[in-house]
Amino acid sequence: MNDPNGLVYFKGEYHLFYQYTVNSTSPDFPHMHWGHAVSQDLVHWNELPPAIAPDKDGAIFSGSAVVDINNTSGFFDQEGSGLVAFYTNEGNQAQPGKPQVQSLAYSRDQGRTWTKFEGNPVLFPASETPDFRDPKVFWHEESSKWVMVLAARDRVEFFTSKDLKSWSYASEFGSKVTGVHRGVFECPDIVQISVDNDPNKTKWVLILSVGDLNGESGNDPEPPAGGSGMMYFIGHFDGQSFVPDKAIESIDDIQWIDFGSDFYAAVTWNGIPHEDGRAIWIGWMNNWRYAKELPSLEWRGNMSLPREIQLKAYPEGLRMIQKPVTELGKLRNPILNLTELTVNAGDNPLSETTALKAEIIGEFEIGSATEFGFKVRKSSSQETVIGYDVVKEELFLDRTNHGSSDFHRDFAAKHTAPLKSENKRIQLTIYLDGSNIELFVNQGSIVITDLIFPDFESQGLELYALGGEVKVISLQINEITGIWESKPI
């Protein structure tokens, strides 16, 4: 599995569709389906049969889904409303030089079965291009129109519609933006988010995934951890065009979403009720630099935890922050609580604690230590280090000694992010789940998402300090219970 698709909330269910190659542990793009799972709480998922299969129009690449509440499409006369999915047909033969086109399907039974529109494809690129994909469709209230944003190689293009079937070109963004074109644009999204949780103050955030050059040289900068990655722009959207608040004039102006390798193609759920008000998304935990070479056996690819995204005002400007959804609290089983503890070099207050699936929440006050943090999935020969370099004012996740790395030369690496302490304090929230680490720092202002592949037996934990002492204001470790009825292998 790879990109999440068709994220939509409808009649009490969160739908998660995703790129899925049936009966294969390797991406097989000509045979790509939409897989399907549903949840009532974003935590426990029920996998359903694949939803949309490839046919004469081509493979089923990424896209989105909407709730057609007012039946603008005319597909739901009896039901009154239903789901409409938009996806890219890859390998389409209808027009030479235009292999990627946009099509739609609709469901009258809450997404259990889908009917492809007889008028497919509904949108072709204006000129020959191999890259014209990943439509994200949403209702723009102010203009009373449906809006589609999709990736067209070095730009995103906006289209509008009244009925979800006939689309008109509106504008483009990105082709003239400096420093962002190292790879092909993919999986765009645009969402309106409140600033500092003030519903009367909102901004539009345009989100782009940027592909990898597969090790080739390029003039524009790589994402922080190399390979593929995600960036965002804050600005204004009037239903026709997006205008960023700030021009991108140098590398330092690019806002990256994740400082790890393995968070990509994230998109937000449509249809979240107004009374909820959250912007929630999920991403594919992988990187196109090595996605086809992971040391996986019976499966390949997984999703991140669902996250809420917010905008927060800092002295340097507005920034996106990410927080795991509160529903994850259902999985907590507390196993350790510590407060007001001083850790010196050589100490390990967690020497008797092990963890394969855990939530670790710690707040630290910087003392004389030059570095401090955690070593997770630890054994005599393996460990992954999550720490803070006090001298460099740098957060890091070091997976150079995590376990199996020989499948790709770039996997074993130390990923870093600049981070100044707040009143000499650092707050870390770590989600550890088998081969996954999701790290949220200072309430989600910095995020590092990484895969690791240690031996199953490597489950030790260490809380360490180097060169002096660090004070633990609080530390909570919770076991995270599994979401599946059967025990995972």
Which whole-number Å values give the CA distances from 464 to 352, 376, 409, 442, in the listed order?
14, 11, 29, 19
The secondary structure element, H or E, covering residue 199 is strand 198-210
- Torsions phi, psi of 251, nearest 5? -55, -35
- Torsions phi, psi of 331, nearest 5? -100, 0
**Contact assessment for residue 221 and residue 214, using Cβ atoms and an 8 Å cutoff:** no
Q: Is 276 a catalytic residue?
A: no
**Token pair recorded at residue 368:** 């004389």
**Contact assessment for residue 9 and residue 269, using Cβ atoms and an 8 Å cutoff:** yes
From the candidates 3, 134, 398, 450, give the one annotated as an active-site residue: 3
Buried b (16+ CB within 10 A) or exposed e, 234-260: bbebeeeebeeeeebeeeeebbbbbbb
Q: In angstroms, rounded to a whole number, what is the distance separating the alpha carbons of residues 10 and 83?
A: 8
Q: In angstroms, rounded to a whole number, what is the distance separating the alpha carbons of residues 449 and 256?
A: 13
Task: Count Cβ atoms below 10 Å from residue 141 Cβ, excluding itself.
Answer: 9
SS3 label, residue 328: helix
SS3 label, residue 330: helix
Give the full edge-to-edge strand order of the sheet including 100-107: 59-67, 83-90, 100-107, 115-116
Give which of 50, 66, 42 is closest to 17, Cα–Cα.
50
Q: In angstroms, rounded to a whole number, what is the distance separating the alpha carbons of residues 161 and 165?
A: 7
Q: Which residues are catalytic?
A: 3
